[in-house]
Structure 1
Amino acid sequence: MRIDIFQDLVCPWCRIGKKNLMDALEKFTAEPVELHYRAYQLDPSTPAEGVDFGKLMRTKFRADESKLQAMLQQVTQAGQVSGLHFDFAQITTMPNTLKAHQLIAIVPEEVKQKLVDDLFRAYFEDGKDIGDIDFLLETASQLGMDPQQIRLQLQAKEGLEEVEDDLEFASQAGVTGVPFFVINQKYALTGAQPATTFLQALEQISAEGTDET
């Protein structure tokens, strides 16, 4: 079974949805599963240096500080239900995630999942600027990769075409929000579904595939 995960690294619901999917996969034993991380940008117009997080959020949702904090608390509570910690007080910058997606595209397959988890954690728990090239290189180094080699690859635009293809595919497919999951290139699930919903869908799709053979 193949699962394509369209996500953006500054989307808290993407982090929650991915965690719920992984929890479901721990109980899904019908067949092996391949995960493919696909790039999506909530706001590709974000400048490379990022923008002020609080100001952007208040403008985007037309919210005063009280309403914004209530919204963020709702996300925090949803994260707790899934076993995730969010600390929005640490976040000062809304970064451009293009380089981070590019990094995910070029690292070896066996470290992609750890990299995605590390970037989510760095942003949502520690408030790190995951659009900063030096931080991305540091993160890659902690996963055993040569930061200078990664820097050269990013500068040479390796992985960028793959990222742009993902963004174009999402646009053409009418994906307007994430997380967005495509199973076996045929079935779609949207949003941060509970683990039980994911498991039910996976088992049903697997059974239908068995019936067709």
Structure 2
Amino acid sequence: MAPEKRFDRMEPYEEGKVQRMIIDLFQDNVCPWCRIGKAHLFRALAQYGGEPPEIRWRAFMLDPNVPKRGLPFMSTMTAKYGEQFSKEGMLGRVMEAGAATGLHFDFDKVEYMPNTRLSHRLIAIAPQEAKAGLVDALHRGYFEQGRNIGDPAVLLTIADECGLDGAELGRRLDKGEGESQIETDLAMARRAGISGVPFFIIGNKFALSGAQPPESFLKVFGRLAEQA
């Protein structure tokens, strides 16, 4: 478990009301450890039981300078990380950790390193009850099927596959919807000193960084319950 970090309340509680647990989940849609960390969180929540928390999906961009057209995946990442970016190195560790959580990664199919801003905006404007499934679908589409989630047409097709109205969401994206939420999320990450993801702020008090195991989340849930 990462060293415990406390946060001042980022949003005020309403006095006199029992508050539902809030989890701010900062993630990027091309981050494999975000996919694994999210799976660990949901496994912990299933074990913990009780009222489901409110999960606020917060955008984080590992590389906001990626052009809208994207970059070639393997050559870009090899230039950044060197020979360790291989199935015998970094990719192998991801695939092993994913398999232990029941997640499949097929990096042979991943051709693009997309700019993720539009995919974050899509999550931002999706109905709250559909966000988790949409994030799952984006991760699955990118890491298992090699779909280019920087392509607007691909994003809207994935939305349709999730039972959403892709055409309507596309019209809203064309109007700029979701942009202010992304700026809010990125500014919040800067204020909190977040430099990597996944990053979880739980109950506006405690933070976990990285793809922590379910036990780490359960420990924090227990501490929040004690304080309540």
TM-score of the two chains, using structure 2 as the length reference: 0.87
CA contact (8 A) 1:30 1:206 kept: no
Q: Which residue of 2 aligns with 1:121?
A: 140
The residue that corresponds to 1:109 in the other structure is 128
C-alpha distance in structure 1 between counterparts of 2:225 and 2:140, whole Å: 31
Counterpart of 2:77, as a letter, is M
Q: Where does residue 4 of structure 1 map in the other structure?
A: 24
The 3-state SS of whatever aligns with 2:86 is helix
Q: CA deviation at 1:148?
A: 2.1
CA deviations 1:100-136 (Å, max 9, x no partner) are: 0000000111110100000000111111101110011
Q: Which runs of 5+ in 1 are unaligned?
A: none
The match for 2:7 is none
SS of the counterpart of 2:75? Answer: helix
Compute the displacement of 1:208 (Å): 1.7
Q: Structure 1's 137 and 67: CA in aligned 2 closer, same or farther, altered over 3 A? A: closer
1:193 aligns with 2:207: no
Report the Cα distance in structure 1 between the residues aligned to 2:37 and 2:140, rounded to whole angstroms. Answer: 14
SS in 2 for 1:126: coil
Residues 73 and 110, structure 2, Cα contact 8 Å, conserved in 1: yes
Q: How far apart, in 2, do the equivalents of 1:75 and 1:146 lie?
A: 33
- Report the equivalent of 1:45: 65
Q: Relative to total residues, which structure has the larger helix share, 1 or 2? A: 1
The residue correspondences of 1:109-188 to structure 2 (distance < 5 A) are 109-188=128-207
Cα distance in structure 2, aligned partners of 1:192 and 1:138: 29
Offset of residue 15 of structure 1: 0.3
Distance in 2 (alpha carbons) for counterparts of 1:28 and 1:191: 20
User: How far apart are the structure 2 equivalents of 1:89 and 1:96?
Assistant: 19
Aligned residue pair count: 207
Shift of 1:146: 2.4
Normalising by structure 1, what TM-score? Answer: 0.93
Contact 1:57-1:68 at 8 Å conserved across structures? no
Q: Kindly report the root-mean-square deviation, in angstroms, between the aligned alpha carbons of the 2 structures.
A: 1.2
Q: Report the Cα distance in structure 2 between the residues aligned to 1:47 and 1:76, rounded to whole angstroms.
A: 27
Identity of aligned residues (%): 46
Which consecutive unaligned segments of at least 5 residues does structure 2 have? 1-20
SS across alignment from 1:21:
helix
Partner of 1:203: 222
Q: Which amino acid aligns with 1:58?
A: T
Secondary structure at 1:69 match in 2: coil
The 8 Å contact of residues 70 and 112 in structure 2, kept in 1 or not, is answered as yes
- Whether the 8 Å CA contact 2:137–2:162 is kept in 1: the answer is no
